[in-house]
Amino acid sequence: MNTYGRFPLELVRGKGVWLTDRDGRRYLDAVAGIAVCTLGHSDPVLRRRLCRQLRKLQHVSNLYRIPEQEQLAAAIAARSCADRVFFCNSGAEANEAAIKLARKHGHDVRGIERPLILTAESSFHGRTLAAVTATGQPKYHQGFEPMVEGFRYFPYNDTVAFEALLKQCEAEGPRVAAVLLEPLQGEGGVIPGDPAFFRRVRQLCDERRILLIFDEVQIGVGRSGRWWGYEQLGVEPDAFTLAKGLGGGIPIGALAVKDAVDLLRPGEHASTFGGNPFACRAGLTVIEEIEKRQLLPHVQRMGERLEHLLAELQASHPTLIEGVRGWGLLRGVVLREGGPTAPQVVQAAMDEGLLLVPAGTRVVRIVPPLVIRPRHLRTLVKRLGRALERVG
C-alpha cells in the first residue's frame, strides 16, 4: 500500500554503522532504523544468538511459560524501577497497553466513570487509534476522526499550563487517570524534558493518585547514555513503555510497571506474538551486550563528542543552524526558519553518503547505532556540513 513516502534508496546489506545499497555505494547510518539497531547492523553476537535460538524454538504463544520472556522481564526489572513487564510487538502496542492500564487504574483505583489521560503537545505515541489520539499533533489525527475519547493536551515542559489543565479537569471531582509523557520528545523535534517540570508533575500525580507513565520507546535502552530517559530527569514513573532499541532490529515492545500498579488480570490484555522466545532472545542479547561492551559510558562520551562537533558546525553555519539539542546519541539539529527544510537536508546528506531522519520540518534527527566511534562522528559531521552547503 502507498503508506510511505520513501527515499529513492534500496539498501541490501550492512555492517556496524555502515549500509550498502544495491549499486555498492556505502552510507554512514545515523538513523539506525529510527533508533532501533542498537548494536549496529549484522552484529556477530546478535546473529549467533538468534541463529542458536531458531535451532531451539521461535514461538509457542503465551498459553505456556516462556523462559526467555521471564529472563528478559527480570533483566529489565533489575535495571529499572519496574517490577513486572508485559511484552508485545511495537511501541504503539506498548502504549496501547499503557492506555488500557491507565483506564483500569481510573476505574478501579480512582472511581472514575470516564477517565482522562493528559498528554503533551508535539508528542508522538504511535499510529494505532488510541496511541495516535494520545499523540499531541493534529496532523496525525486528520482523516481518522472521530478520535478516541478521553485525552487532553498541554504544552510540553510548561508547568503552569499543566497545572491549569489538571485543575480544570479535576474541578468537579476525579477525572484524570494518568499522565503520559516522553522524557525526551523525539518525533516532536528532539526536545529534552525539563527536570523541574517533571518533578512537579510527579508531585501532583502522587497527591491525586494519578499514574505517571513514560513513553521510553525512542530514548530508552541506553540511547541517552543511561538505561532509561527518566534517569536524566531524576523522576521515576509508575510505568513506562519500550520498543525500538530493545530488540536491536527484531520487533519487540514492552510495558514495564511497578507492583503497585500491576492491575491487568488474566484475560484483560494479551498478545499472540508478544514476548516470544526469538524476540526475547534478541532483547536479552542487546541488554547483555550493552553491559559487556560498556556502551552506557561509551554513549555518554560519544554524545558529548557529537555535541561538541555539532556546536562547531553551527558556528560555521550560523545562518542555517539555530541550535542543537538532545541527550546522548539522540540529537537534533534545529534549522532556522526561512532556510532549507529538514527533509531537504536529509536528501542532500544522502547524496553525500550519510543517512539522517527528519523530526518535523525544521529538525534533523541524528540517532546512530550505539556502537558508533569517534572517527564515524567526524565523518558524520563533515558530510552533514557538505549537505548544508548543498542546500544552503
User: Strand ranges (DSSP E) for 209-366?
Assistant: 211-215, 239-242, 253-257, 321-327, 330-335, 354-355, 357-358, 363-366
Instruction: Using the structure block, give the residue that is written with the C-alpha cell 527533509.
Output: 343
173 neighbors 111 (Cβ within 8 angstroms): no
Cα–Cα distance, 154 to 193 (Å, whole number)? 14
**H/E run at residue 51:** helix 44-56
Q: String of b and e for 20-37 (b: at least 16 CB within 10 Å)?
A: eeeeeeebbbbbbbebbb
223 neighbors 370 (Cβ within 8 angstroms): yes
Three-state DSSP state, 118: strand
Q: Which three cell numbers stand for residue 142?
A: 486528520
Q: Which three cell numbers stand for residue 328?
A: 546522548
Three-state DSSP state, 291: helix
262 is catalytic: no
The residue among 122, 294, 284, 105 whose CA lies nearest residue 215 is 122
Please give the backbone phi and psi of residue 153, each rounded to the nearest 5 degrees, phi first. Answer: -125, 150
The residue among 252, 244, 316, 270 whose CA lies nearest residue 39 is 244
367 neighbors 223 (Cβ within 8 angstroms): yes
Instruction: Using the structure block, give the residue that is written with the C-alpha cell 520528545.
Output: 185
The residue among 294, 283, 392 whose CA lies nearest residue 345 is 392
* Dihedral over Cα of 165, 167, 170, 175: its sign: positive
Q: Which three cell numbers stand for residue 128?
A: 494505532
382 is catalytic: no
144 is catalytic: no
Of 162, 214, 240, 244, the catalytic one is 244
What are the residue numbers of the active site? 124, 215, 244
